[in-house]
Amino acid sequence: MGETGLVEARTSRISALLAERLQPFARGTTPTVAVPMANNPEVLGCIRVAVESGLARFVLIGPRDEVIRLAQDHEVDLGSATLVHETDPVSACARAASMAARGEAQVLMKGLVQTADFVRSILNRALGLAPAGGLLSHVALCDVDGFVRLFLITDAAITTYPNTTQKRAIVLNALACATALGMETPRIAMVAPVEKVSDKVISTREAAEVVAGFAGDPRFEIDGPFGLDVAISADAAVIKGISGQVAGAADILVMPNIDAANVLYKALTGFAHARTAGIVAGAAVPVVLTSRSDSEESKLNSLRFALAAATGTYATA
């Protein structure tokens, strides 16, 4: 198979899963996506595909004339979209979050706004989008050529150096995403540099504490600390003498901190040309928060991921 064939194969695998999970929308009510400051060509490109596919309706918040002009330039049909005129990014974020809190939007998607302003609007306690004691975390779906299965990585973008309590919330957010993707009893690996618990390597101790705290939970299998090799490779697990349901078969990689998670995510996309889709989980609605450097395909798949997650029920502690 040539280079093009490989790309198409990888694209179809992640896209096929998301298309399957989006089928309930074809049979029911079309979800609404609220986009603050939608005057962004890349966002409008995603919207065009979603509208043409009948996946969602959109509320586009931003400078009305500019949104219309950009839509015309990029051949985006705004016939089914609701336009809300707003020139201030902070106010646009607040309006989008308020819509989600009132049930008028089932997904939030970041437009041409600062990430901090966008996230702050979601965390506004008066709106109740983020549950008390909860945590927002990034969950990325990855498709690596030659690897047997799709898997999730968390948290590469939001929580910097999570403690044990925060890692518990990160696990639950990832579980909710896995459930929305149809993963039954997902296998969760708490990743660390080594498998031996040591006070000198804090991530190993925290991993063991999280695993112990979830002991007997019927919703998933969880184990660790595992080195990344043990988490993903059955051969590595056998060589190191590590057994169990998760070793060598992890569906979800809970990384020790943002340094490890972000580097792994970017290494997979940069060196292995992984196909990805990522959302922010933990709020009352899924949130699309893509990077400016993400490919158009990744942005579109992230929107599809969020729409699929909107059909599920988020796990709670």
Residue 170 CA to chain centroid, in angstroms? Answer: 12
- Residue 86 inside a domain? The answer is yes
Q: Which pTM does this prediction carry?
A: 0.89
CA distance 84 to 59: 7
Whether residue 268 lies inside any domain: the answer is: no
Find out whether 152 and 140 touch, Cβ atoms under 8 Å: yes
What is the structure's pLDDT at 6? 42
**Domain range enclosing 63:** 31-129
Query: Is residue 124 within 8 Å of 97, Cβ to Cβ?
Result: yes
Give per-residue pLDDT as tens, 85-110: 999 999 999 999 999 999 999 999 99
Distance CA(19)–CA(217), nearest Å, equals 30
- Cα three-residue angle 194-157-84, rounded to 5 degrees: 165
Domain annotation covers residue 59: yes
- Check which CATH number belongs to the domain holding 108 and give it: 3.40.50.10950
**pLDDT of amino acid 314:** 35
Residue 1 pLDDT exceeds 70: no
Whether residue 282 is contained in a domain is answered as: no
Per-residue pLDDT tens for 101-138?
999 999 999 999 998 899 999 999 999 999 887 799 99
In a domain, 274, yes or no: no
What's the farthest any 2 CA atoms get from each other in the chain? 64
β-sheet bridge partners, residue 226: 191
Q: Which residue has the higher pLDDT, 215 or 317?
A: 215
- Let me know if residue 3 belongs to a domain: no
Q: Within 13 Å of residue 90, how many CA atoms lie on the same side as its CB?
A: 3
The yes-or-no verdict on residue 295 having pLDDT over 80 is no
Report residue 247's pLDDT band, with 50, 70 and 90 as the boundaries. Answer: very high
Mean pLDDT score of the chain, rounded to an integer?
Answer: 90
Inside any domain, residue 47: yes
CB neighbour class for 213 (10 Å; exposed up to 12, middle 13-18, buried from 19): middle
207 pLDDT higher than 70 = yes
Is 88 within the bounds of a domain? yes
Cα 111 to Cα 63, 115, 290: the distances in Å are: 12, 9, 9
C-beta of residue 10 within 8 angstroms of C-beta of residue 143: yes
Edge-first strand order for the sheet with 275-281 is 82-85, 57-62, 32-36, 107-109, 287-288, 275-281, 137-143, 151-154, 252-254, 187-191, 221-226
State both tokens at 216: 């007997």
Read off the pLDDT band of 5 (50, 70, 90): very low
27 pLDDT more than 70 = no
Joined tokens for residue 305: 């991921």
Number of domains in the chain: 1
